[in-house]
Amino acid sequence: MLRYFANGYRDFVGRFHPNWRTNWEFYAVHDGRIAPVFGDHDEPPLQEHTLWVFAPESCHGWIAEPGKKFDRTVFHFGSVPHALETQVRAAGNWLAKKLDRTELARIKRFAAELEPHFRRPSVLSPLHFQARLADLAIMLLDGRDDRQPPSLPDLAVFKVDSALSWYAEHLSHHPSI
Cα–Cα distances in Å, from 9 out to 72, 118, 146? 6, 19, 35
Q: Tell me the average pLDDT across 143-155.
A: 63
Who contacts 8 (Cβ-Cβ below 8 Å, separation ≥6)?
A: 71, 72
Query: Quick one: pLDDT at residue 148?
Result: 59
Residue 131 has pLDDT above 90, yes or no: yes
Residue 162 has pLDDT above 90, yes or no: no
Q: Which of 102-116, 127-141, 163-177 has the lowest mean pLDDT?
A: 163-177
In angstroms, the CA 66 to CA 27 distance is 19
pLDDT digits 0-9 by tens, 5-31: 999 999 877 788 899 989 999 999 999
Q: Tell me the average pLDDT across 62-73.
A: 92
Residue 147 has pLDDT above 70, yes or no: no
Q: What is the pTM of this model?
A: 0.82
Contact 86, 150 (CB under 8 A): yes
pLDDT digits 0-9 by tens, 94-129: 999 999 999 999 999 999 999 999 999 999 999 999
In angstroms, the CA 151 to CA 11 distance is 43
Q: Tell me the average pLDDT across 68-92.
A: 94
Q: Tell me the average pLDDT across 128-140.
A: 97
